Amino acid sequence: MTSQLIQLKQMTTVVADTGDFEAIGTYKPEDATTNPSLLLKAMMIEKYQPLASQAIDWAKAQNSDDVVAAAADKLSVLIGMKLLEQVPGLVSTEVDARLSFDTQATIEKARQLIELYRQEGADTSRVLIKIASTWEGIQAAKVLEAEGIRCNLTLIFAFEQARACAEVGAYLISPFVGRILDWYKANQPDTDFSGDNDPGVQSVKQIYSYFKQHQFDTVVMGASFRNIGEIQSLAGCDRLTISPALLAELEQTDAPLERRLQPTTDTTEQEQPLTEQEFRWAMNNDPMSHDKLAEGIRQFAKDQVALEAMLAKLV
C-alpha cells in the first residue's frame, strides 16, 4: 500500500507550509507558502542566516529611509526565490500584517514585492501575494488581480470572507482549519469535535461546495491543521498546505485514503456580491471569526516585528 501522502497527491495539490528548504526537498510538494512566523523560525537556523546578511547589504545599498524594513522585504523574497528553485509550482509571500486595514498600502507593498522578485529574475506568475482577508485586504486583492498580480487571501475563518474573496476574483484562499477548532475547543470544552464534527473541517467543506456550485475559479487551500484526521477529512480539496510534521505522519501512514471532496455538476448562478456592510456585520456577528482574524493579524504582526528586530541587530 502506498503512503497516504502519495495517495493525497493524486487528488489534491499538496503545499508545504514551511520555509525549511530541507523539508521541502524531503516531501516534494507542488507549492510552498510562508508567513512571518515561518520566516522567523527559518532565521533561527544557522545555515539560513547568510540570507539575512545578503538582504541587509542590499537594503544598505539602496539608501533606503528604513533599512530594516527594506531588508525584511528582501529577505522574504530571497527565501521565496529559494523555494521557487525547489517546487515546480507556486510560492506565497506575505504582505506585512500591519497593513491589513490599509488597502492602498497593501497594494503598494504587493507591487514592491513583485518588483523585487522581478529584479531577482523570477517568473512572477509563480508568485502569490499573501494578504489577510479583511475587507481592506480583499479590496486590495481586487485591484492586484486586475493588474495580473495573483493573490492568496489568508486568515479565513468565516464563510463571508471566502465568498467576498471569490467575488473579487482572488486566485486562492486559505481557510484555517485548526485555528477554528482551537476556538471551539476552548469555548465548548465538553463538545465532541472529532472527525466530521470538526468545525474547521466543516467550514472548508462549506466553502468548497459553494465555490464549485457557483462556478467560482478561486482555489480553496485548507490550512492550519492540528492532526492528519483533518487532512484526511478534506482529501480532494483543491489544495492543502501542510506542516512538515504532518507531512511526515502522512508519509508513514499507509491505510487507504478516501476522497472526501468532489466537484459538483449541480451548478447555479452566482448571487449578488456581498456589500461592505453585510461583510462587516457577518464578521462582527460571529465571535469565532472576529476573534481569530484579529488574533491572527496580531500574531503575524508580532512575528514581523521580531523578524525586523533580529535584522536590526545585524545592521
51: CATH:
3.20.20.70
> What pLDDT does 73 receive?
95
d(CA 55, CA 78): 8
Find where cell 516585528 sits: 305
d(CA 50, CA 11): 38
Q: pLDDT tens string for the chain (315 positions)? A: 799 999 999 999 999 888 777 888 899 899 988 888 878 888 888 878 899 999 999 999 988 789 999 999 999 999 999 899 999 999 999 999 999 999 999 999 999 999 999 999 999 999 999 999 999 999 999 999 999 999 999 999 999 999 999 999 999 999 999 999 999 999 999 999 998 999 999 999 999 999 999 999 999 999 999 999 999 999 999 999 999 999 999 999 999 999 999 988 788 887 899 999 999 999 999 999 999 999 999 999 999 999 999 899 887
d(CA 251, CA 26): 11
At position 206, the amino acid (one-letter code) is Q
d(CA 250, CA 189): 28
109, 130, 212, 292: which is the annotated catalytic residue? Answer: 130
Contact 155, 296 (CB under 8 A): yes
Range(s) of the domain holding residue 210: 4-314
210-157-240 Cα angle (round to 5): 70
Neighbours of 282 (CB within 10 A): 18
Split into its structural domains, the chain has a count of 1
d(CA 226, CA 243): 10
- Give catalytic status of residue 130 as yes or no: yes
Global pTM value: 0.94
